[in-house]
Chain A
Amino acid sequence: MYRSRVFSTVLEFTRAAYDAVVDHARRGEPREVCGVLAGMRGAPDSEDADRAESLVTEALPTENVAERPETRYRIDPEELFAVVESIEGDGLEVVGFYHSHPAGPPRPSETDVARATWTDHSYAICALDGHPFVGSWRWRGTDEGFDREVVAVRSERSDA
């Protein structure tokens, strides 16, 4: 379960990265898809307000190797490690991860809560039980669980 507290962090996507998540989720239906979010990870406990937001500049798709991909996702450890190394080699940070819920729900499931491991990283979910919805939750650890984040999209239009 997650607690719906006052938003404490913001996960901003470039338009290209946001659309890449939704496109990947749609292509994968009815199976769940997954991937890694790269960019600059915010430090919400920092006194520097500019450091409180995370920016996702790339959404890197990975294979879903779960035995039941319609309702489960799992990133192969070797691929996960290779993607993390690649992100860091490009001078970026691992901001978090994304996966899809083709039939909902538009929030972390009990399974998502039980399996979360990367503390202070974002877990974004694209739900397709209607128009695509992308939400994100920051994992605070086993005791505190998920904190809902504000999801923002950085427009690439000069007049926006």
Chain B
Amino acid sequence: MDVTVDVVGGGERECVLEDGATYADLIRAAGFHPQEASVLVDGSPVPGDRPVDADRVRLLRLIQGGSNDHLEAEG
């Protein structure tokens, strides 16, 4: 399936996905890691394990970081 991804603040890109792909797959196809971006529907993030059910989505690159140099699991 073809999906148009509107990257908030970053233009649009087209992604081609296999049938049954999830939103996490879509995020990767758009060039991001699922931990660094979220797909939004009506302004709210959708779970990464949900199958893609739209042909046009909005992707938000997340803003996070911190002073600690150690990259452990973070909230």
A interface majority secondary structure: mixed
Indicate if the CB atoms of A73 and B66 lie closer than 8 Å.
Answer: yes
The interface residues of chain A lying within 8 Å CB-to-CB of B8 are 81, 84
Interface centre among B32, B36, B44, B61 (most CB of A within 10 A): B61
Q: Given A32-B66, A97-B63, are A74 and B75 also a contact pair (CB < 8 Å)?
A: yes
Q: Given A77-B40, A84-B8, A84-B9, are A117 and B63 also a contact pair (CB < 8 Å)?
A: yes
Indicate if the CB atoms of B60 and A81 lie closer than 8 Å.
Answer: yes
Q: Which residues of B contact A (CB under 8 A)?
A: 8-10, 32, 36-38, 40, 43-45, 60-71, 74-75
* CB interface residues, A 7-36, toward B, < 8 Å: 32, 34, 36
The interface residues of chain A lying within 8 Å CB-to-CB of B45 are 77-78
Question: Which residue in B44, B63, B67, B74 is a CB contact (below 8 Å) of A75?
Answer: B63
**Which residue of chain B has its CB nearest to the CB of A118?**
B61
The interface residues of chain B lying within 8 Å CB-to-CB of A108 are 65
Top 8 A-B pairs ranked by shortest CB distance? A67-B75, A72-B66, A117-B61, A71-B68, A112-B65, A74-B64, A101-B67, A110-B69
Task: Determine if A49 is an interface residue (Cβ-Cβ < 8 Å).
Answer: no
Indicate if the CB atoms of B63 and A118 lie closer than 8 Å.
Answer: yes
* CB interface residues, A 99-122, toward B, < 8 Å: 99, 101-105, 108-112, 114-119, 121
A sample of 10 more A-B contacts (CB under 8 A), given A68-B66, A109-B67, A109-B69, is: A67-B75, A71-B66, A74-B62, A74-B74, A77-B62, A94-B9, A111-B71, A114-B71, A115-B36, A121-B9
How long is the Cα–Cα vector from A129 to B45 in the complex, in angstroms?
A: 35
Indicate if the CB atoms of B63 and A34 lie closer than 8 Å.
Answer: yes
Indicate if the CB atoms of A67 and B74 lie closer than 8 Å.
Answer: yes
What's the minimum C-beta distance from B35 to chain A, rounded to whole angstroms? 9
